[in-house]
């Protein structure tokens, strides 16, 4: 079946630094990928829709300059948290939609802790 690899699974960084999270579709092409943020005991909040070869579409309230999304190929999307602060600490999850057929596959998530 379809597999989405998300890396790293955990990252701890200092306040003010930037962190890059990768989301790869391993055995299928994904024109569209999605980035979610999950707070403790909360549901997933869609942050942005990543489109290969074009700009990402951000949800209302999500800072575009802080959460940079790049979808340079059909199998890779990256989320960069710039100038991270402790309030950015969260669980980030990506998902990819298969171009052929209907299906959404989620990555295993990245636990970001900003100290």
Partner 1 sequence: AQSVTQLDSQVPVFEEAPVELRCNYSSSVSVYLFWYVQYPNQGLQLLLKYLSGSTLVESINGFEAEFNKSQTSFHLRKPSVHISDTAEYFCAVSDTGNQFYFGTGTSLTVIP
Q: Which residues pair with 21 in a beta bridge?
A: 79
Applying CB under 8 A, which of residues 14, 43, 53, 87 lies at the interface with partner 1?
43
**Does residue 109 touch partner 1 according to CB under 8 A?**
yes
Q: Among the candidate windows 14-22, 41-49, 60-68, 76-84, which touches partner 1 by CB under 8 A?
A: 41-49
Q: What number of chain residues touch partner 1 (CB under 8 A)?
A: 22
**Does residue 50 touch partner 1 according to CB under 8 A?**
no
The candidate with the shortest Cα–Cα distance to 48, out of 71, 30, 27, is 71
Residue 6's H or E segment, with its range, is strand 4-7
Residues 52-91, one symbol each (x = binds partner 1 by CB under 8 A, - = not), give ---------------------------------------x
The candidate with the shortest Cα–Cα distance to 35, out of 15, 12, 63, is 63
Residue 13 tokens read as 């960084």
Residue 46 tokens read as 């869609």
Comparison of 42 and 64: residue with beta carbon closer to partner 1: 42
| Cβ neighbours of residue 78 closer than 8 Å, sequence gap 6 or more | 20, 21, 22, 23, 69, 70, 71, 72
**Does residue 42 touch partner 1 according to CB under 8 A?**
yes
Binding-site ranges for partner 1 (CB under 8 A) = 6, 9, 32, 34, 41-44, 46, 49, 91, 93, 95, 97, 102, 104-109, 111
């Amino acid at each position: 079946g379809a597999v989405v690899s998300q890396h790293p699974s955990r990252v701890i960084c200092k306040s003010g630094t930037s962190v890059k999270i990768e989301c790869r579709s391993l055995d299928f092409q994904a024109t569209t990928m999605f980035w979610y943020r999950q707070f403790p005991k909360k549901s997933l909040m869609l942050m942005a829709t990543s489109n290969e070869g074009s700009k990402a579409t951000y949800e209302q309230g999500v800072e575009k300059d802080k959460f940079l999304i790049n979808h340079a190929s059909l199998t890779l999307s990256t989320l960069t948290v710039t100038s991270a602060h402790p309030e950015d600490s969260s669980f980030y999850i990506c998902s990819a939609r298969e171009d052929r057929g209907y299906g959404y596959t989620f990555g295993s998530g990245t636990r970001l802790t900003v100290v």
